[in-house]
Copies of this chain bind each other. A is one copy, B any other.
Amino acid sequence: MQNVRVGIIGIGNMGTEHSTMLLNHQVKGAQLTAVCDVREDRRNWALEHLGNDVSVYQTPDELIASDRVDGVIIATPHYQHSDIAINAFEKGLHVLCEKPAGVYTKQVRQMNEAASDAGKVFSIMYNQRTNPVFQKVRDLVLTGELGEIRRTVWIIDWYRSQSYYDSGSWRATWAGEGGGVLINQCPHQLDLWQWVTGMMPTRVRSFCNFGKYRNVEVEDDVTAYVEYENGATGLFVTSTGMAPETNRFEIYGDRGKLVVEDNRITFWRNRVPESQFNQEWKGGFGLPENWKCEIPVHGVESGHGGIITNWIETILFGRPLISPGDEGIKGLSISNAMHLSTWTDSWVDLPIDEELYYEKLKDRIAHSSYDENQAEDKTLDVKGTY
């Protein structure tokens, strides 16, 4: 295979951006050959803008069955990700799926099983893994520069006005999205939180507020406490109601403290590890000498293009995936656990009880305000979002 023929399923906000990128040959080895969208106006847009070499279909099934593609990028509403991906794998196609991989972990597990059965390449659009800032943080953690991790704190706000939510009736509904700030805005941070630290929480106690700052039915404000196997603790705090937007990630370790904010990494480095100081010091009050280190970051974030390129290179040349499908379940597990802990007002152990979560989610879908048949959506300009 010299080129991977790529179909894009769903040309709404993100799919449109991806189709333009492929059309402009920004991904070597990839050729845009087909798109599909259930909305007539989006198909008309495709016919007008994508040229004669790109076939335009109505349904994912038609595109997948078309023999015009070797792989698909899925950029539909969240709920459809798993069925489409499984269908594609069964037809022998490779899949790159927009985040979140699915809405509940059962979906993502089944997607991975289908990928494995088909022997096809499955990647998730965790494009923030190409951000050199987080690659550097991961490097500092995994090489031991920070020492054993003791505490993580990520405060990440995504300001969204009511007008944003009103732009799509599916937005911020249980039936339309399956969650709020955790499922729509935070998947990258929930992925990076465990990816850069190399640690998954073992249990979660979370406090979600639903429709607190906006007229929505899902969570728009979350504070979550987690514990890790080594005894470390963690906090994840997010809201769509806070202005200005905060994005501050702190990791505390035996050898100091890392702070990531404004795309800069500051390492407050202990000259000797705290544990060693504590053993040796006999003077009562006193603490390790600490150095404020500004950590250099090189390279640029390759973003969506980087993840698509990596997926293509894995298909063509067997390169390792930056964001393999089986890791899509990790951040989603944390997100699901945060919902479940609030719903049950108690601790949730990980891995979560995926059937229990799905049962409780279905209750909320049944009472959701969103009605797919009456849906009317605008396509927003998402440049500068993730």
Contacts and interface: CB of A to CB of B under 8 A. Distances in A.
B159 A287 contact: yes
B151 A288 contact: no
Nearest to A159: B287
A278 B159 CA distance: 10
B231 A244 contact: no
Contacts of A243: 256, 270, 274, 277, 287-288, 290
B162 A278 contact: yes
Given A237-B153, A288-B243, A231 B212 contact: yes
A161 B380 contact: no
Contacts of A381: 285
A150 interface: yes
Contacts of A205: 205, 207
A105 to B, nearest CB: 25
A163 B380 contact: no
Interface residues of A, number: 57
The complex is assembled from copies of this chain, and their number is 2
A317 interface: no
Interface string A254-271: 001100000000001010
Nearest to A212: B231
A167 interface: yes
Contacts of A358: none
A283 interface: yes
Contacts of A252: 242, 246
A284 interface: yes
A380 B205 CA distance: 39
A285 B385 contact: yes
Contact of A270 (B209, B221, B244): B244
Given A223-B233, A243-B270, A277 B207 contact: no
Contacts of A239: 150-151
Interface of A: 150-151, 153, 155, 159-164, 167, 205, 207, 209, 212-214, 221, 223, 225, 227, 231, 233, 235, 237, 239, 241-246, 250, 252, 256-257, 268, 270, 274, 277-279, 281-288, 290, 378, 380-382, 384-385
Interchain residue pairs A-B with the least CB separation, the first 8: A159-B287, A244-B290, A243-B274, A161-B281, A163-B282, A244-B268, A243-B288, A164-B284
